[in-house]
Amino acid sequence: MKRPEYLSQGEEARLFPVLSTTSKEGRTASIVLACFSRVDEFAAALLNSIGKKTGKRSEVTTFTEVVFKNQKENVRDRPDGLIVVKTGNSEWRALVEAKIGGEVLKADQIEKYRAIAKDEKIDCVITISNQFATTPTHHPLEEVVKSRSKIPVFHWSWTSMLTTADLLIKNNDIADGDQEVLLYELCRFLTHDSAGVKGFDRMPKEWTELNKLASAGGKIPAKSEDAEIVVRSWFQETRDLSLILSRKTETVVTEKMTKAHRKSGPDRLKDAVLELRNSNCLSVTMDIPYAAAPLTVVADLGRRTLETGMTLRAPEDKVSSKARLNWLLRQLKSEKKDDVFVRMNWPGRSEETVHALSELTDDPALCEGGKDGLQVLSFHLFVAKRLGVKFTQQTNFISELEHLVPWFYQEYGQNLAGWRKPAPRIETGSLADTTIDLEELEERIDED
């Protein structure tokens, strides 16, 4: 591949880069960008996530360690990569900055690349690291979000790229056999320890301090830096959790957000901090394609408890609450009922009731206790696990969460089916008289 004329340095991204064994970052970036340019569906999926559409006429090329001929900044400021998408006579370009292992992105370096992008009329900057972002537009660095630069910066985590590749393979979405083999080898490479790709594995030190405050009955201050740091980390973890569920279910699991939150990361952060202050809870809702209901996850700092569950509308064709409950119980085949509960919601101001699943299985009539004449409206099936001191620990909290949520979905969530109102029926014999007497109908209308 010929080097573009506007570059004074840089070469096509190589599948087998000739680099020092200590250059783990450069090696990983080169291999991933090489696959990016050679596997059409992989490039299309990632580019689509940042709003760049590609088609059959699009040609994607990638380069590493690039320096521009007219670069005003120090030539030592070399972006790790350049993505070029040509479609007809139009050309779209993105600078790439990558960090691997425990290395984190630096705002000042990204701003330098933004300056280069502005001078060279490049469309955007893309960062890649083991840091997580809810969406590619919600950058993990606050300084980058608050910058006045008009050059957009998008972010992919290595794990999100790995998940994208994994799903394309598992769903047989790669048309070309050779490209599928290449993508499979990329997944194999990225899952090896030597690649330096890892998930979110620990909460920040502020997590422990905030838990001490909550357990002591203290109130989180209105402008608490600790709370913001914890919420940002929670966002990274829930993104990682959605990727874990995506790989396990072999489909795309996403975090459910309002339009305002999806559009504005700072607004989402502000509202989540407020929720944490008011309720001592962190929460997220996940959409799993074709599941009976969204999956909710709640971390309660006050009770040191993790909860995850799903809410199902009660079947309206059943008259009694007991019959409605039996409809739910028939779907629950798992014998593992420890810490599993059912919360029932009732009409009007009637308070919700909660019973252990094991108790309701033994005696479904318990659901009607004190609710004479009322019909249950919905069921929230959930597991609640009190972790105690493990909840406050930076790594144990993450490991417990990443075990509990997939466990609940596998044991219960994937087997649930939502109730749907039956289709209207034509009764037997009613087809005999299908004619309409128009004169009789007009007379009725005149009388009305």
Span 17-51, pLDDT tens digits:
876 555 778 888 999 999 999 999 999 999 999 99
Q: Any idea what DSSP says for residue 287?
A: E
Q: What is the mean pLDDT of residues 409-427?
A: 92
Q: Please give the mean pLDDT across all residues of the chain.
A: 92
Q: Are 237 and 405 in contact (CB under 8 A)?
A: no
Q: What is the mean pLDDT of residues 360-377?
A: 88
Q: What is the model's pLDDT at position 70?
A: 83
Residue that has been written with the tokens 């001490």 in this structure: 212
Q: What is the mean pLDDT of residues 141-148?
A: 93
CA angle 22, 24, 26 (to 5 degrees): 110
* pLDDT over 70 at 386, yes or no: yes
Which uninterrupted H or E stretch holds 81? strand 81-87
Structure confidence by residue, pLDDT tens digits, 223-245: 899 999 999 999 999 999 999 99
Structure confidence by residue, pLDDT tens digits, 197-209: 999 999 999 999 9
CA angle 236, 242, 245 (to 5 degrees): 140
Residue that has been written with the tokens 């991933």 in this structure: 32
What is the C-alpha separation between 260 and 258, in angstroms, rounded? 5
Confidence category of residue 74, pLDDT binned at 50, 70, 90 = low
Residue that has been written with the tokens 């940042």 in this structure: 50
The residue type found at 397 is F
Q: What is the model's pLDDT at position 349?
A: 86
Structure confidence by residue, pLDDT tens digits, 266-315: 999 999 999 999 999 999 999 999 999 999 999 999 999 999 999 999 99
Residue that has been written with the tokens 């001078």 in this structure: 119
Residues 6 or more apart whose Cβ sits within 8 Å of residue 397: 203, 207, 299, 387, 390, 391
Q: Which of 410, 348, 412 is nearest to 380 (CA)?
A: 412
* pLDDT over 60 at 432, yes or no: no
Residue 156 CA to its chain's centroid (Å): 12
Q: What is the model's pLDDT at position 407?
A: 97
Both tokens assigned to 171: 């769903």
Give the number of other Cβ atoms within 10 Å of residue 131's Cβ. 20
Beta pairing partners, 344: 353, 379
* pLDDT over 70 at 435, yes or no: no
What is the C-alpha separation between 20 and 17, in angstroms, rounded? 9
* pLDDT over 80 at 448, yes or no: no
User: Which structural domains are found in the chain, ordered by start?
Assistant: 7-195 (3.40.1350), 205-415 (no CATH)
Q: What is the mean pLDDT of residues 67-95?
A: 87
Q: What is the model's pLDDT at position 22?
A: 58
Q: What is the model's pLDDT at position 85?
A: 96
Q: How far is CA 44 from CA 40, 186, 367, in A?
A: 6, 16, 51
